[in-house]
Amino acid sequence: MRVLDSHLHLWDPEILQYTWLEGPLAWRFADTEIEHSRLPQATREDAVFVQAETVEGDYLDEVRWVAGLAPALGVVGIVAGVRLDRGTDTVAHLEGLETEPLVVGVRHNLQGSDGVAGSAAFVTGAREVAARGWAFDACIHAGQLPEISRLAAAVPELRIVLDHLGKPAVGTAPAPLAPTPEWVRDLDDLARHPLAVCKLSGLPAEAGGNWSRAQIEPFLDAAADAFGPHRLMWGSDWPVSVIGPAEPDDPHAPDDGSAAYQPHARERWAEAVIAWAEARGHDVDAILWRNASEFYRIGERRPVDAPQRPRRGILGWLRG
């Protein structure tokens, strides 16, 4: 089974600057750490790196840092950080990205920034992205879905991928929430745009790491009904989506019951989506590999092989 993780983060606070990292996420998550979160069911595992919200001044440095790790990690594409509402500065930034061969898309993180995607400056920036043949990752909250539909209408040539199903409220395993009619309606509206696709990612984080397959399947069903399985792609959202209640028998579980790193959560999310897709008769290879490869225009391209790095136990790393 081949897997192309469409949504992988990497970061190192000693190399780049981040203002949002806290708790179990305020560590280095890079080459050594992802090696301990590989999927045992995968015969081949590649990934698309998605910008990890460094400070704006580090956007280009982040791309170069990840590009240096890419051959060893199987990173075959980079979704770079960008501000699309900066006019000539946006154009200059995109021109700088053109020199980086792994860049396949960009992301201006929109969650919580209501109205930005509809501004004239943002639409102009989005047209510049489309002109370069790149995709746009839309990271939003559920209430912003209509803005992305309007962006798709304003720039119909722009390939848009909705991150994390638009971050609907899903509840938790013991207190699940059903998809709201408003979210289903807005998801359907976005799916009417032929160049829009959806990532099956991020729901574990929306559940605070406390989720079940039964809880999330109605949301996966709604995405499949809206986009069709040929416009869905699996993403791990690692490491954001592997933080939550300590796993059973975790000898390093915090004594106060606070959130912890879940060593098996990435594998569990892959297994849940695979089991759901198989039960529904969907094309598993398309969801796990082909759709992301085609959307990001990666094909069978893969970085040259590089020697593996020494491994350290991830739990030991987490505890220093």
Average pLDDT of the chain, as a whole number: 92
Please determine, for residue 306, whether its predicted confidence score (pLDDT) is greater than 80: no
Beta bridge partners of 61: none
Residue 217, burial from CB neighbour count under 10 angstroms (0-12, 13-18, 19+) = middle
- Eight-state DSSP code of residue 305: P
pLDDT for residue 42: 95
Q: pLDDT by residue (tens digit) across 186-237?
A: 999 999 999 999 999 999 999 999 999 999 999 999 999 999 999 999 999 9
Entry pTM: 0.92
Distance in angstroms (rounded) separating the CA atoms of residues 17 and 27:
12
Please determine, for residue 304, whether its predicted confidence score (pLDDT) is greater than 90: no
What CATH number did the domain enclosing 301 receive? 3.20.20.140
Closest CA to 61 of 84, 33, 93, 88: 93
Contacts of 279 (CB under 8 A, 6+ apart): none
Place of tokens 């956007």: 59
Map residue 44 onto helix, strand or coil: strand
Amino acid, single-letter form, for residue 166:
G
Q: Are 252 and 22 in contact (CB under 8 A)?
A: no
How many domains does the chain divide into? Answer: 1
More confident position, 90 or 251 = 90
67 φ/ψ angles, rounded to the nearest 5 degrees: -60, -35
Map residue 262 onto helix, strand or coil: coil
Tokens of 63: 């791309």
Amino acid, single-letter form, for residue 204:
P
Q: Identify the domain containing residue 66 by its residue range.
A: 2-318
Distance in angstroms (rounded) separating the CA atoms of residues 274 and 267:
11
